Amino acid sequence: MQQPRISRRRLAGLFVWAGAAHALPACGQAAAAEKRVLVLGAGLAGLSAAWELQQLGYEVTVIEGRDRVGGRVWTLREGLEQGQFAEIGAVRIPDVHERTLDYCEMLGLELDEYKDGEPLYYVDGKRFKHVEGEPWPLEGLNDDELALGLGDYWSREIAATFAEFGDPRMNGFPKPGIVEKYDGMVYADFLRMRGTSETYLKLYAADNGSEISTIGTLAWMGAEVADQAWGKTYHIRGGNDQLPNGLAEKVGLDNILLSSKVTKIEHDDAGVTVTFSGPDGETSLSADYLVCTLPFTTLRDVAIEPEFSPEKMKAIKELFLMNAGRGYIQTRTRFWEQEGIGGLKIAKTDGPAERIWNLSDVQPAGTTMGVIQSYTQNHNADAYCAVAPEEREEFCLAAVEQFFPEIRAEKVAFFHFCWSDDPWSRGAWTDILPDQWWIVAATRKPEGRVVFAGEHTSVWAGWMQGAIESGQRAADEIAAMG
C-alpha cells in the first residue's frame, strides 16, 4: 500500500520543544567501523538505533532482558482459533506516522486499514449509538458544544490553545509565562477552566481514555499537535510484531543478546562498560558509546557508576509510566455488526471498562470469528490489574456486558494482560505529569558517551513512532560525537 511519504530527516526537526534531532553528519565509514556501540533494549527504539548505526559503519551489540525482541510491540497468537491474533502492545499506526510507515515499506510489510464505523456509547448510565450531526442524548452539554458539534468544538479549543501557548512545532514553545501558569494543571482541569462541560469531558474520556485526568496540560498539547492531521489508521497485516521482528533480522540476530538483564552501567570519558546477567552467567562488555532505551521505571534498578547528572537521576526516579489493562475476547461471531456497530473503537464508556476495541477487521482473510479487547488505563487499569489474574475474566466480562449482553454466550477464548505486571517496563507508556515540564528535555539529554532513546524521550510517547524517532535521534547523536 503506497502512502505519501515525508522524509524522516525533514520531519526530525519538527517538534523542537522536545529537543531538536541532529541531522546526520558526514561520518567516514572507516572511522565508524573502528567504533563499537552497545544498545540496551531490543524494542523498536533499540532496534532502530542499532540499524541506523550499522548503516553508518558502527559495530553494534544489542542487550535485551526479555526472551524476545519487540518490547511493548507484542502480538498474541497462541490459543486463538482460525489463525487469529490480538495485540498485547501497540495496536495502531496513524497515517501521519511517517517514520513507522517508512520502516514498514523498507521491510516489505503490508498494511490493513481499520474501518470506520458507528460506535456504541454507555455514558451517564445510558446506552446509545450516535450518528455525526445528530443531537447527543445527554444532558449538560453547553451551547457551544451543541452548536459546533463535539469535533468542531474540539478543533476550536485546540486552535485557541495554540494561540495562547504557541505552536509546539516552532521555536519558543511554550510562550513566556505559560509554564508557570499551566505546568501544574492536569489537562482535564485546563479544559474545565476554558468552560468545557463535565458531559463533554465524559465523552472525551470515553473516546480517549481516563488519561486526561492525569497527564499535564503542556504534554497533552504537544501530543495533540503531533497527530493533528491524523486521518486513516493502519495495522500491519498478520501482526504488528512483524515490524520489530523484521528490523531485528536486518540488525542481525547474532548481534542481539536475549534473556540478558542489565545490572550495571559504568561510563567515563574513554567509553562505557555494561554488566548483565545472561544465560552464561554474569558478563561485562565494553564499547565506545551506549544507547540506553530502558524505561526509567527499570533503569532505577541498574547501578550507574558514576551517577548521571542530578537532573537525569531525578528524571529516572520520577518519570511516570501509565498503566494499561487489557482483556481479550475471541467471539464466535461479529455479532455487534448486526446492530450497525463498527470501527476500531466499537464501544466507549465513562465507566470502568473505558473502551472496547475491535481488531476483527484486520484478522486474516476468510476468518469469521471476532476479536475484541477491553482497554483500560490509569486508575481503571489499576483497579482491573489489582484483581487476581484468575478473576480478571469475570471482571472483564461483567464490564463488557453493559455494552453487549450476549458476550458470555459468544465468548470462545479469553486472555488478559496488565502492563504494570510486566517486569521489563512496569507500565504501558510515558505520561508527563503536572509540574514535570522540565523532565521533557531531561529524559533525552546525553550523559557523556551515553545517549538515551525510547518512547519516553519522544513527543510521540506511547507510539511505535516515538520509539523509532528516538532511536534515529540517538544514532544521530552518536554520529555527531564522531
Domains in the chain with CATH codes? 19-71+241-320+431-481 (3.50.50.60), 75-117+232-238+321-421 (3.90.660.10), 139-226 (no CATH)
Mean pLDDT of the chain: 90
**Beta strand 303-305 with 261-267: parallel, antiparallel or unpaired?**
parallel
Sheet holding 233-236, edge to edge: 93-94, 233-236, 111-113
Nine-digit cell at 428?
Answer: 504501558
**42 assigned binding-site residue:** no
**Tens of pLDDT, residues 115-152:** 988 899 999 889 999 877 788 889 999 999 988 887 78
Answer whether residue 220 shows pLDDT above 70.
Answer: yes
Nine-digit cell at 357?
Answer: 476495541
CB-count exposure of residue 29 (10 Å: 0-12, 13-18, 19+): exposed
**278 assigned binding-site residue:** no
* Nearest CA-CA partner of 205 in 329, 318, 355, 99: 355
Q: Residue 24's pLDDT is what? A: 46
Q: Residue 193's pLDDT is what? A: 94
**90 assigned binding-site residue:** yes
Question: If you compute the radius of gyration of the chain from its CA atoms, what whole number of angstroms results?
Answer: 23
* Nearest CA-CA partner of 183 in 430, 432, 434, 431: 434
Please write down the HEC assignment for all residues of the chain. CCCCCCCHHHHCCCCHHHCCCCCCCCCCHHHHHCCEEEEECCEHHHHHHHHHHHHCCCEEEEECCCCCCECCCCEECCCCHHHCCEECCCCCEECCCHHHHHHHHHHCCCEEECCCCCCEEEECCEEEECCCCCCCCCCCCCHHHHHHHHHHHHHHHHHHHHHHHCCCCCCCCCCCCHHHHHCCCEHHHHHHHCCCCHHHHHHHHHHHCHHHHCCEHHHHHHHHHHCCCCCCEEEECCCCCHHHHHHHHHHCHHHEECCCEEEEEEECCCCEEEEEEECCEEEEEEECEEEECCCHHHHCCCEEECCCCHHHHHHHHHCEEECEEEEEEEECCCHHHHHCCCCCEEEEECCCCCEEEECHHHCCCCCCCEEEEEEEEHHHHHHHHHCCHHHHHHHHHHHHCCCCCCHHHHEEEEEEEEHHHCCCCCCCEEECCCCCCHHHHHHHCCECCEEECCHHHCCCCCCHHHHHHHHHHHHHHHHHHC
Answer whether residue 349 shows pLDDT above 70.
Answer: yes
Q: How many residues does the chain have?
A: 482
Q: Residue 20's pLDDT is what? A: 39
Answer whether residue 23 shows pLDDT above 70.
Answer: no
Q: Residue 16's pLDDT is what? A: 37
Residue of higher predicted confidence among 471 and 223:
471
**262 assigned binding-site residue:** yes
Mean pLDDT of the 48-75 span: 99
Nine-digit cell at 376?
Answer: 483500560
Mean pLDDT of the 331-346 span: 96
473 touches 453 (CB < 8 A): yes
Q: Residue 352's pLDDT is what? A: 84
Q: Return d(Cα 479, Cα 469) in angstroms, integer.
A: 15
Q: Residue 21's pLDDT is what? A: 40
Mean pLDDT of the 162-169 span: 79
**375 assigned binding-site residue:** yes
**92 assigned binding-site residue:** yes
* Nearest CA-CA partner of 190 in 158, 152, 223: 158
Answer whether residue 13 shows pLDDT above 60.
Answer: no
Answer whether residue 168 shows pLDDT above 80.
Answer: no
Residue 409: how many CB atoms within 10 A of its CB?
A: 9
How close are the terminal C-alpha atoms of the chain, in Å?
38
Nine-digit cell at 196?
Answer: 468545557
Confidence at 4, pLDDT banded by 50, 70, 90: very low
**Tens of pLDDT, residues 69-88:** 999 999 999 999 999 999 99
**186 assigned binding-site residue:** no
Residue of higher predicted confidence among 3 and 275:
275
Lowest mean pLDDT: which of 117-121, 227-231, 233-237? 227-231
* Nearest CA-CA partner of 80 in 331, 327, 343, 324: 331
C-alpha angle with apex 54: 53 to 59, nearest 5 degrees?
95
Mean pLDDT of the 246-256 span: 99
* Nearest CA-CA partner of 321 in 415, 418, 242, 238: 418
Answer whether residue 3 shows pLDDT above 50.
Answer: no
C-alpha angle with apex 108: 107 to 111, nearest 5 degrees?
110
**Tens of pLDDT, residues 357-403:** 999 999 999 999 999 999 999 999 999 999 999 999 999 999 999 89
Q: Residue 229's pLDDT is what? A: 66
Residue 123: how many CB atoms within 10 A of its CB?
A: 20
Q: Residue 226's pLDDT is what? A: 59
Answer whether residue 418 shows pLDDT above 80.
Answer: yes
Answer whether residue 275 shows pLDDT above 90.
Answer: yes
